[in-house]
């Protein structure tokens, strides 16, 4: 639904002037209008439409002040257009006519009203859903991933030697929702960043210090048209439930809680910055099958710094944060109790193992290994090189050595135990196993290098998949 004010723009008051002055001060911190090209990521919602309007106005007014007064308004607008470009992405997640109308509103308003060039990037219908399955995450994350890819693609069309700013309309309420959401999920949100540099791209969030209410007031006072995404009111999404149910409840019982939470999170970030700085003293080196660091330096650090050291190591390994905080804490406890003089030079000591990540001690170093190459799709894909139990999406893979000489009898024994959510077979290490979880049914399993006929071959193992997550 198109939400628009009267065609006649109301008289601009003190609020709009103050809003734009505040924005001008924020943009001046990074000298955004003079260092390179500026891309405005605009979806058609009120936040990004106000961002496009206000930034265009701020930059145009600044050019007027710094330009020869003899130049007319059209020349100044052209100069502003040379600095700015709007990019809107049609994700094709809703009805075709709805998503097309979003893109058309952005294009018409920006090119005709703001006199700023606009590029429409259209994602093929169904691609976001496929991408979410490949990445093993939700559609919202997949859409964000593709959107940033298309924004960087648009940025590459400008002079590569100049920095390109990409502005997004994330505001204070968005950040607050993220902080509360991560808190309830037992994790922490990254601190608010005005800008983040990636090669020659500089991602900017100029609205971080503006509230949703301020943005909506600016839209009303300046007759900024926008479209409302119906999915924003769907409380099936966790963020929307927070926005429409939890946060208003907190407003009613504890006014001002939002500012307190943001202040508290800022303090947490200050402490985290110190911890990260201290963790940099441990250097991880890449070896043939693991990454290594000096154990004595790791052991003398504070526990909070040790956690960050392990996170740094996981980043170097390319494993992200797939291993839980509890497992990292277990690794630290075991490492701090460990006396390296208790083992010989060739032995190793394992401190923790989870999701294919092994953390331990060997030859004077703490090491992190990625024993199984896990590629998350809608299920899992693992290369297994040893016996043990492996936690994957939806269940557990149990691998045990074959003990009975009559392998065929063992197979039948295992097969008789299969239930709706179990699968078993026999194969030879190493092997790969892939599973795709099907709703309300068993997980579809594919194993490569199954050896069922050659009973003389060594390294035969029983493989069982036990499904632990059952869709309702």
**Are 447 and 306 within one domain?**
no
**Are 128 and 229 within one domain?**
yes
Residue 71 has pLDDT above 70, yes or no: no
Q: Where would I find the H helices in 318-439?
A: 325-337, 407-415
- Four-CA torsion 127, 133, 135, 141, nearest 10 degrees: 70
Mean pLDDT of 18-37: 82
Q: Which residue has the higher pLDDT, 403 or 125?
A: 125
pLDDT classification of 158: cutoffs 50, 70, 90: confident
What does the longest C-alpha to C-alpha distance in the chain come to? Answer: 97
- Four-CA torsion 336, 342, 347, 349, nearest 10 degrees: -20
**Are 136 and 188 within one domain?**
yes
Please name the residue that has the structure tokens 């709706």.
Answer: 420
Residue 284 has pLDDT above 80, yes or no: yes
| Nearest of 265, 264, 268, 296 to residue 282 by alpha carbon | 296
430 preceded by a cis bond (ω within 30 of 0)? yes
Q: Which residue has the higher pLDDT, 13 or 406?
A: 13
Residue 193 has pLDDT above 50, yes or no: yes
pLDDT for 365 equals 92
Residue 41 has pLDDT above 70, yes or no: yes
Cβ pair 397, 385 in contact under 8 A: no
Residue 267 included in any domain = no
**Percent of the chain residues topping a pLDDT of 70:** 73
Q: Can you list the positions of beta strands (E) in 83-206?
A: 84-90, 118-122, 164-167, 195-198, 201-204
Residue 470 has pLDDT above 60, yes or no: no
State which residues form the domain around 321.
Answer: 286-370
For 170, 412, 426, the CA distances from 453, given in Å and listed in that order, are: 60, 14, 10
Indicate the number of domains in the chain.
Answer: 3
Residues in the chain: 472
Q: 252-260 long-range CB contacts below 8 Å, 24 or more apart?
A: 258/176
- Four-CA torsion 274, 263, 202, 86, nearest 10 degrees: 170
Helix (H) or strand (E) holding 252: helix 247-253
**Other beta carbons less than 10 A from residue 449's beta carbon:** 11
Cβ pair 48, 169 in contact under 8 A: yes
Residue 61 has pLDDT above 60, yes or no: yes
Residue 468 has pLDDT above 60, yes or no: no
**Are 363 and 406 within one domain?**
no
**Are 32 and 134 within one domain?**
yes
Phi, psi of 49 (to 5 degrees): -70, -40
Q: Mean of the per-residue pLDDT values for the chain?
A: 79
Q: Which residue has the higher pLDDT, 355 or 115?
A: 115
Q: For the ranges 180-184, 337-341, 401-405, 438-442, which has the lowest average pLDDT?
A: 438-442
Instruction: State if pTM tops 0.85.
Output: no
Domain end among 201, 231, 253: 253
Please name the residue that has the structure tokens 């390179």.
Answer: 36
| Interatomic CA distance for residues 258 and 208, integer angstroms | 14
pLDDT for 319 equals 59
pLDDT for 145 equals 87
Classify burial at 382, counting beta carbons within 10 Å of its beta carbon; exposed 0-12, middle 13-18, buried 19 or more.
buried
Phi, psi of 234 (to 5 degrees): -80, 105
pLDDT for 163 equals 81
Residue 281 included in any domain = no
Residue 353 included in any domain = yes
Q: What is the DSSP letter of 450?
A: -
Mean pLDDT of 188-215: 84
Q: Could you tell me how far CA 244 lies from the centroid of its own chain?
A: 23
CATH number of residue 306's parent domain: 3.30.465
Cβ pair 211, 171 in contact under 8 A: yes
- Encode 235-249: b = buried (16+ Cβ within 10 Å), e = exposed: eeeeeeebbeeebee
**Are 244 and 296 within one domain?**
no
Q: Where would I find the H helices in 156-207?
A: 172-184
Mean pLDDT of 144-151: 91
Q: What is the DSSP letter of 242?
A: I
**Are 211 and 303 within one domain?**
no
Q: For the ranges 40-54, 58-72, 114-128, 217-231, which has the lowest average pLDDT?
A: 58-72
Mean pLDDT of 401-413: 55
Identify which of 3-12, 85-94, 223-232 has the greatest average pLDDT.
Answer: 85-94
Mean pLDDT of 457-464: 68
CATH number of residue 96's parent domain: 3.40.50.620
What would the 3-class secondary structure string for 38-95 be?
EEEECCCCHHHHHHHHHHHHHHHHHHHHHCCCCCCHHHHHHHHHHHEEEEEEECCCCC
Residue 70 included in any domain = yes
Please name the residue that has the structure tokens 């709009």.
Answer: 16
Mean pLDDT of 44-58: 95
Q: What is the DSSP letter of 115?
A: -
**Are 48 and 114 within one domain?**
yes
Q: Which residue has the higher pLDDT, 348 or 305?
A: 305
**Are 102 and 229 within one domain?**
yes
Residue 278 included in any domain = no
**Are 214 and 290 within one domain?**
no
**Are 182 and 136 within one domain?**
yes
Residue 237 included in any domain = yes
Mean pLDDT of 83-102: 92
Domain end among 370, 400, 415: 370
Helix (H, G, I), strand (E, B) or coil at 451: coil
Phi, psi of 122 (to 5 degrees): -110, 125
Mean pLDDT of 103-115: 95
Residue 65 included in any domain = yes
Domain end among 370, 399, 423: 370
pLDDT for 472 equals 34
Residue 86 included in any domain = yes
**Are 299 and 446 within one domain?**
no
């Amino acid at each position: 639904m198109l939400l628009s004010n009267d065609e006649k723009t109301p008289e601009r008051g003190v609020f709009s002037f103050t809003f734009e002055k505040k924005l001008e001060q924020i943009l001046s911190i990074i000298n955004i209008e003079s260092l390179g090209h500026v891309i405005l990521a605009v979806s058609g919602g009120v936040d990004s439409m106000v961002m496009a309007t206000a930034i265009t106005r701020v930059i145009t007014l600044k050019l007027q002040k710094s330009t020869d007064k003899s130049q007319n308004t059209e020349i100044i607008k052209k100069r502003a257009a040379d600095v700015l470009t709007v990019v809107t992405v049609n994700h094709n997640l809703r009805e075709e006519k709805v998503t097309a109308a979003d893109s058309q509103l952005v294009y018409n308003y920006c090119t005709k009203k703001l006199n700023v060039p606009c590029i429409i990037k259209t994602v093929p219908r169904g691609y976001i859903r496929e991408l979410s399955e490949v990445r093993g995450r939700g559609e919202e994350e997949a859409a964000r991933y593709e959107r940033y890819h298309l924004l960087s693609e648009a940025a590459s069309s400008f002079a590569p030697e100049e920095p390109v700013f990409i502005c997004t309309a994330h505001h204070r309420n968005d950040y607050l929702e993220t902080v509360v959401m991560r808190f309830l999920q037992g994790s922490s949100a990254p601190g608010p960043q005005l800008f983040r540099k990636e090669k020659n791209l500089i991602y900017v969030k100029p609205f971080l210090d503006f509230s949703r209410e301020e943005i909506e007031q600016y839209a009303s006072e300046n007759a900024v048209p926008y479209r409302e995404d119906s999915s924003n009111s769907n409380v099936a999404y966790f963020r929307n439930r927070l926005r429409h149910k939890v946060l208003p409840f907190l407003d009613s019982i504890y006014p001002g809680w939002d500012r307190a939470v943001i202040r508290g999170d800022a303090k947490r970030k200050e402490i985290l910055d110190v911890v990260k700085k201290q963790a940099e003293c441990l250097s991880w080196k890449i070896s043939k099958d693991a990454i290594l660091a000096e154990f004595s330096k790791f052991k003398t650090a504070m526990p909070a710094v040790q956690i960050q050291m392990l996170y740094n190591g996981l980043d170097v390994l390319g494993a992200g944060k797939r291993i839980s905080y509890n497992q990292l804490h277990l690794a630290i406890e075991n490492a701090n109790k460990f006396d390296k003089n208790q083992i010989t030079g060739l032995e190793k000591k394992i401190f923790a193992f989870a999701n294919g990540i092994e953390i331990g001690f060997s030859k004077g170093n703490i090491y992190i290994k990625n024993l199984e190459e896990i590629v998350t799709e809608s299920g899992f894909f693992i290369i297994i090189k040893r016996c043990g139990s492996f936690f994957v999406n939806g269940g557990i893979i149990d691998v045990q050595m074959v003990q009975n000489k009559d392998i065929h009898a063992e197979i039948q024994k295992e097969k008789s135990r299969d239930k709706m959510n179990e699968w078993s077979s026999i194969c030879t290490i190493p092997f790969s196993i892939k599973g795709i979880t099907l709703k309300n049914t068993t997980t579809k399993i594919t194993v490569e290098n199954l050896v069922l006929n050659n009973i003389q071959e060594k390294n035969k193992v029983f493989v069982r998949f036990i499904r632990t997550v059952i869709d309702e």
